[in-house]
């Protein structure tokens, strides 16, 4: 069993917070972009690059 500190991490482009690998993302970790469903929905309304400018 891996320790939580040893799991892969990514930064969410919407909220800019780090999130770690989860078992449910095991098969498609490369395609996971957002930390939560809420961030995924927010990204649909505005583009990420426009949010960075604000």
Pairing verdict, β 18-20 and 9-11: antiparallel
Average pLDDT over residues 4-33: 91
Joined tokens for residue 50: 């426009």
d(CA 23, CA 43): 24
Q: Looking up tokens 């892969």, which residue turns up?
A: 8
Over 80: is that where the pLDDT of 24 sits?
yes
Tokens of 24: 């449910």
Please give the pLDDT value at position 16: 95
Q: What is the per-residue pLDDT for 53?
A: 46
Q: Which domain holds residue 48?
A: 4-53
φ, ψ of residue 34 to 5 degrees: the values are -115, 150
Q: What is the pLDDT of residue 6?
A: 82
pLDDT at 45: 75
Domain count, the chain: 1
């Amino acid at each position: 069993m891996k320790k939580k500190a040893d799991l892969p991490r990514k930064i969410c482009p919407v909220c800019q917070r780090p999130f770690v690998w989860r078992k449910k993302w095991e098969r498609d970790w490369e395609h996971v972009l957002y930390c939560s469903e809420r961030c995924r929905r927010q990204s649909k309304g505005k583009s990420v690059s426009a949010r960075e400018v604000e």
